[in-house]
Amino acid sequence: MTKFVYDFTEGNKNLKDLLGGKGANLSEMTNLGLPVPPGFTITTEACRHYLTEGELPGGLDTEIDAHLDALEEAMGKRLGQADDPLLISVRSGAKYSMPGMMDTVLNIGLNDQSVEGLTKQAGNERFAWDSYRRLIQMFGKTVLDVDGDLFEEALDELKHAKSTTNDLDLEAADFRALVETYKGIVREQTGRDFPSNPREQMDLAVKAVFDSWNSDRAILYRRQERIPTDLGTAVNICTMVFGNLGMDSGTGVAFTRDPASGHQGIYGDYLQNAQGEDVVAGIRNTVALADLEGIDKTSYDQLLTIMERLENHYRDLCDIEFTVERGKLWMLQTRVGKRTAGAAFRIAIQLVDQGMIELDEAVDRVTGDQLAQLMFPRFDDGADKKQIAKGMNASPGAAVGKVVFSSEAAVAAAARGEHVILVRRETTPDDLTGMIAAQGILTSRGGKTSHAAVVARGMGKTCVCGAEDIEVDVKGRVAQAGDVTVNEGDIISIDGTSGLVYLGEVPVSSSPVVQYFEGTLKAEDGDELVQAVHRIMTHADAAARLTVRANADNPEDSARARRFGATGIGLCRTEHMFLGERRQLIEDLILAESTAERIAALEALKPMQREDFHGILKEMDGQPVTVRLIDPPLHEFLPDFTELSVKVALAGDDADPKDRKLLECVHRLHEQNPMLGLRGVRLGLVIPGLFAMQVRAIAEAAADRVGEGGDPRPEIMIPLVGSIQELEHARDEALQVIADVAQETGVSVTTLIGTMIELPRAALTAGQIAEAADFFSFGTNDLTQTTWGFSRDDVEASFFSRYLDLGIFGVSPFETLDREGVGRLVRIAVEEGRKTRPGLKLGVCGEHGGDPDSVHFFHEVGLDYVSCSPFRVPVARLEAGRAAIETAGSDSR
Ligand code: ADP
Ligand code: MG
Ligand code: MG
């Protein structure tokens, strides 16, 4: 029979799939002999069963009974026992931590009787009633779905009546009264009494945790973080320990290193006489963790020892939740902590230098997405800035935007394409939509562990928190920073690296990491971060099997790509070369009525193309340059049909004859589905001389380069081929032109001729096509369009969000390659192509070439290279290295 419940002594940190992160780590700490309150975990498997079947799995109840009995036995008291109650927390915990997404209920087991027992046992009436009201509040909100504000308002009213804002000024009698008020709220809102039966409380809470997996907030967060929707959450039942027993008690959070910089030290917050979320909720001001030394040295020393032990054990930065109950330290949670991108690189290298991990693992511990973040621009050092406040540097980056005070405003502005900074006193999980929509987040309260800080770091979003010099009036939509008034719509700039806030727009400059890639900053002259990036990139390059090329259409981009570590160009689009003034020449070509006119038009284009290719081949000397012959339908180069019609109609009899001709042509070339129309190789076969002109320009440019002593390596790529016959026609023509040029110039340049694989038919007949192709390059954008039958521009805006909601895919197939469908076609083409031609060169030139997840797939199927935009080249290099290291790791395991 399936085991659905694990005691904390039974699990370990590797069981995250089953026990969730929190449960697995509670077990791990228990087994390390650390002071963890006893408890047990109900598995994610039970949750999945509950979510799919609508009822708890059979046998779960009995299993829970047995574990609860054992817990009660060990603690010497029963759940909710009237004279001496065992109290528990019911805590969610999925495989991936989802901050603030799923709510925990504390103090389960309290009711009108057991609260008296707790009072006697603790000798503290205030504490017992405070705990009881917290239970009703949390239970009411998370389990019974009562609007949490109602409880908050009642609490505020009570404080107001006592003329205080500090919950420490409330006394036992106040909490007694509050319990009655809260019970009333529950009755009024739900039509039932607050459940007094302890076991019923527990069972309802367990179900509520399971249900919370599908709360809107959880769904949104998962989508943002690309967490699969079907994992489910585990539930942890944990004996309560109390940080709200008096000033000798308290609760805190800590990091073994600074999650923003990576530096070792004592980082965290502590709050005396407080329970659970009080620390991060910002209800009172916390003290720095270091101050705990003065408050309770024994607990402090013990905590530091445990933190060191955890870091050595996990060999990584850990974050920790703990509680001190009357001088006794309890560990309530640990996990490998989230960190900023910069800290990820620094920590990885610090750990290498401390001998804790190898370089391979360091490469594995950072991601391409993190590297991409480090390449974001920063504020100009030299710029004129008006600083209006300073807060905590919670999540790095430089963000500029209009101030908005609500998530709704942020979402609305983002929909209009505006950049905004979300300014709040503090954020709550309800602000998630606004945080996603904003460029950056600024709060006036809360520390580095506040909701805003944690979530922003997770999203890689710039955040300054706890900027106390700013008075935020959300209702009035205004903020006051000293004598500066900031209204909604005013522009501010926030620096998440320094914590500084500026009025107005501050210009930004490139990041040192980009300067390093550009070569303007040498690794050895760089700071700790640049050196860490350098060491990790060097190791990744050495490990990688995939090489990385760039998509570039001009010499400047080619040069940058090369500086960024590209070893060739995987896609040089020639149509971009026909824009601007040259559009005229393409018009002439299209309008040509005689062979002579057509030849004249092509002759006019050729020298320009030749110059384009010459520049690119020069920048990429010694490296392959794949030039794709013209791909888009020709009418893309013609004026807009409606505009032209209006122009001709308005001019009446005086209309320019060329305009008339053009209009006729635009009309004739109009297609219902241009994506599937006259484009790619079809153009080459239908318009005589077009491909030949391009091939000639390439061949002549290459010959010029040889004449200059260069080493050109052109590769000619035929787009949108669906059958070998198409490719053969195009190839024969190209070979002839190349031979002609060789004869004319006396220089013969090796030129590969290959094709894109971007139609399902091409993939399925790759074995034949390979007979006429020196290389394949997977055009995964079009291959995704044609495999799914999606016209990208039409579908993304119209219904992709619905598809994501329905879980039809977890992430757009245009962002990350769809392995089962499109990927399968890639696999078939790789296998059959190589069977025909063992040395066939294989690459990918769609946008997926710069997507970390897709890069791993391309490594797996055995491509030779990926190609992506120049700025993504470092990301792809890193992921290529990571993919190789991961495969090597799993092979030897
Ligand atoms: P989250 O995932 O939101 O951090 P947790 O389950 O960790 O939720 O719990 C919320 C808060 O309650 C945390 O501060 C945690 O330390 C505290 N807490 C949870 N269980 C207990 C317990 N058994 N005793 C005391 N505090 C607890
Ligand atoms: Mg927690
Ligand atoms: Mg294409």
Mean pLDDT for 32-44 is 98
633/883: higher pLDDT = 883
Sign of the Cα torsion 316, 321, 324, 328 reads negative
Mean pLDDT for 325-350 is 94
**pLDDT at position 458:** 63
Q: In what order do the strands lie in the sheet with 470-473?
A: 470-473, 478-481, 484-487
Length of the chain as a residue count: 893
* Residues less than 5 Å from ion ligand 3, measured at CB: 758, 779, 782
Mean pLDDT for 708-723 is 98
DSSP, residue by residue, 685-742: HHSTTHHHHHHHHHHHHHHHHHHTT---EEEEEE-S--SHHHHHHHHHHHHHHHHHHH
Residue 226, pLDDT above cutoff 80: no
Residue 227, pLDDT above cutoff 70: yes
Q: Which of 238, 845, 856, 859 is catalytic?
A: 845
Shortest-distance atom of ligand 1 to CA 243: 25
Cα–Cα dist 344/767, whole Å: 44
3-state secondary structure of 224: helix
User: Which amino acid residue places its CA nearest to atom 13 of ligand 1?
Assistant: 276
How far, in Å, is the centroid of ligand 3 from the Cα of 781? 6
User: Which amino acid residue places its CA nearest to atom 11 of ligand 1?
Assistant: 276
127/793: higher pLDDT = 127
Shortest-distance atom of ligand 1 to CA 236: 6
Residue 845 in contact with residue 778, Cβ under 8 Å?
yes
Extract the tokens encoding 94: 């999925």
How far, in Å, is the centroid of ligand 3 from the Cα of 571? 11
**pLDDT at position 285:** 77
User: Which amino acid residue places its CA nearest to atom 17 of ligand 1?
Assistant: 276
Of the bound ligands, which one is closest to the alpha carbon of residue 551?
Answer: 3
Q: Which of 47, 67, 238, 451 is catalytic?
A: 451
Of the bound ligands, which one is closest to the alpha carbon of residue 847?
Answer: 3
Of the bound ligands, which one is closest to the alpha carbon of residue 756?
Answer: 3
User: Which amino acid residue places its CA nearest to atom 22 of ligand 1?
Assistant: 240
pLDDT digits (tens, 9 = 90+) for 522-542: 999 999 999 999 999 999 999
> To 5 degrees, how large is the angle CA 569–CA 573–CA 577?
120
Phi and psi based region of residue 574 (left: phi greater than 0; alpha: psi -120 to 50; beta: remaining): alpha
pLDDT digits (tens, 9 = 90+) for 841-854: 999 998 899 999 99
User: Which amino acid residue places its CA nearest to atom 15 of ligand 1?
Assistant: 276
Cα–Cα dist 381/360, whole Å: 35
Which amino acid would we find at residue 158? Answer: L
Sign of the Cα torsion 390, 391, 396, 397 reads negative
Instruction: Give 521-557 as a 3 state SS string.
Output: CCHHHCCHHHHHHHHHHHHHHHHCCCEEEEECCCHHH
Shortest-distance atom of ligand 1 to CA 103: 3
Least Cα distance to 618 among 690, 512, 701, 519 occurs for: 701
893 pLDDT tier (thresholds 50, 70, 90): very low
Residue 411 in contact with residue 381, Cβ under 8 Å?
no
The neighbouring-strand residues paired with 471 are 480
Which amino acid would we find at residue 336? Answer: V
Residue 335 in contact with residue 26, Cβ under 8 Å?
no
pLDDT digits (tens, 9 = 90+) for 825-872: 999 999 999 999 999 999 999 889 999 999 999 999 999 999 998 888
Residue 100, pLDDT above cutoff 60: no
Main-chain phi, psi angles of 616, to 5 degrees: -70, -45
How far, in Å, is the centroid of ligand 2 from the Cα of 110? 22
**Radius of gyration, alpha carbons of the chain:** 32
Residue 783, pLDDT above cutoff 80: yes
How far, in Å, is the centroid of ligand 2 from the Cα of 853? 29
Phi and psi based region of residue 445 (left: phi greater than 0; alpha: psi -120 to 50; beta: remaining): beta
Residue 29, pLDDT above cutoff 80: yes
Among 354-358, 394-398, 415-419, 528-532, the minimum mean pLDDT is found in 394-398
Main-chain phi, psi angles of 843, to 5 degrees: -145, 180
**pLDDT at position 835:** 98
**pLDDT at position 158:** 94
pTM for the whole thing?
A: 0.82
Sign of the Cα torsion 160, 162, 164, 170 reads negative
Q: Using CB atoms within 10 A of its CB, is residue 537 exposed (0-12), middle (13-18) or buried (19+)?
A: buried
Which residues have C-beta within 8 Å of that of residue 527, sequence separation ≥ 6? Answer: 512
451 annotated active-site: yes
How far, in Å, is the centroid of ligand 1 from the Cα of 40? 14
**pLDDT at position 636:** 83
468/692: higher pLDDT = 692
Main-chain phi, psi angles of 806, to 5 degrees: -75, -5
Least Cα distance to 470 among 400, 386, 390, 387 occurs for: 390
**pLDDT at position 674:** 86
How far, in Å, is the centroid of ligand 2 from the Cα of 466? 21
Of the bound ligands, which one is closest to the alpha carbon of residue 253?
Answer: 1
Cα–Cα dist 416/133, whole Å: 44
Shortest-distance atom of ligand 1 to CA 91: 6
How far, in Å, is the centroid of ligand 1 from the Cα of 87? 13
891 pLDDT tier (thresholds 50, 70, 90): low
Cα–Cα dist 339/96, whole Å: 14
152/283: higher pLDDT = 152
**pLDDT at position 124:** 94
* Test site for ligand 1: of 97, 270, 277, most ligand atoms within 8 A of the Cβ: 277
Residue 133 in contact with residue 178, Cβ under 8 Å?
yes
User: Which amino acid residue places its CA nearest to atom 20 of ligand 1?
Assistant: 89
Which residues have C-beta within 8 Å of that of residue 57, sequence separation ≥ 6? Answer: 2, 4, 45, 46, 49, 50
User: Which amino acid residue places its CA nearest to atom 23 of ligand 1?
Assistant: 240
**pLDDT at position 708:** 97
**pLDDT at position 101:** 58
**pLDDT at position 163:** 92
pLDDT digits (tens, 9 = 90+) for 244-290: 999 999 999 999 998 888 888 889 999 999 988 777 666 677 899 99
Helices (H) and strands (E) in the chain, counts: 35, 31
How far, in Å, is the centroid of ligand 1 from the Cα of 323? 9
Least Cα distance to 428 among 474, 494, 369, 471 occurs for: 474
Which residues have C-beta within 8 Å of that of residue 63, sequence separation ≥ 6? Answer: 3, 4, 5
Question: For the chain, what percent of residues have pLDDT higher than 90?
Answer: 75
Among 51-65, 260-274, 304-318, the minimum mean pLDDT is found in 260-274
**Cα 33 from chain centroid?**
36
Residue 214 in contact with residue 221, Cβ under 8 Å?
no
Mean pLDDT for 86-114 is 89
**pLDDT at position 99:** 64
How far, in Å, is the centroid of ligand 2 from the Cα of 532? 31
Mean pLDDT for 644-669 is 88
Shortest-distance atom of ligand 1 to CA 239: 23
pLDDT digits (tens, 9 = 90+) for 159-197: 999 998 888 899 999 999 999 999 999 999 999 999 999
User: Which amino acid residue places its CA nearest to atom 24 of ligand 1?
Assistant: 240
Of the bound ligands, which one is closest to the alpha carbon of residue 628?
Answer: 3
State the CB neighbour count (10 A cutoff) for residue 831.
13
* Test site for ligand 1: of 30, 97, 233, 333, most ligand atoms within 8 A of the Cβ: 333
463 annotated active-site: no
User: Which amino acid residue places its CA nearest to atom 14 of ligand 1?
Assistant: 276
CA-CA-CA-CA torsion for 688, 691, 693, 695, nearest 10 degrees? Answer: -150
Alpha helices in 473-632 (DSSP H): 512-518, 528-543, 555-563, 583-591, 595-619
**pLDDT at position 264:** 83
751 pLDDT tier (thresholds 50, 70, 90): very high
**pLDDT at position 638:** 84
Please list every protein residue whose CB sits less than 6 Å from any atom of ligand 1. Answer: 37, 89, 91, 104, 106, 238-241, 276-277, 321, 323, 332-333
Average pLDDT, the chain: 93
Buried-exposed string 716-740: b where 16+ CB fall within 10 A, e elsewhere? bbbbbbbebebbebbbebbeebbee
Question: For the chain, what percent of residues have pLDDT higher than 70?
Answer: 98
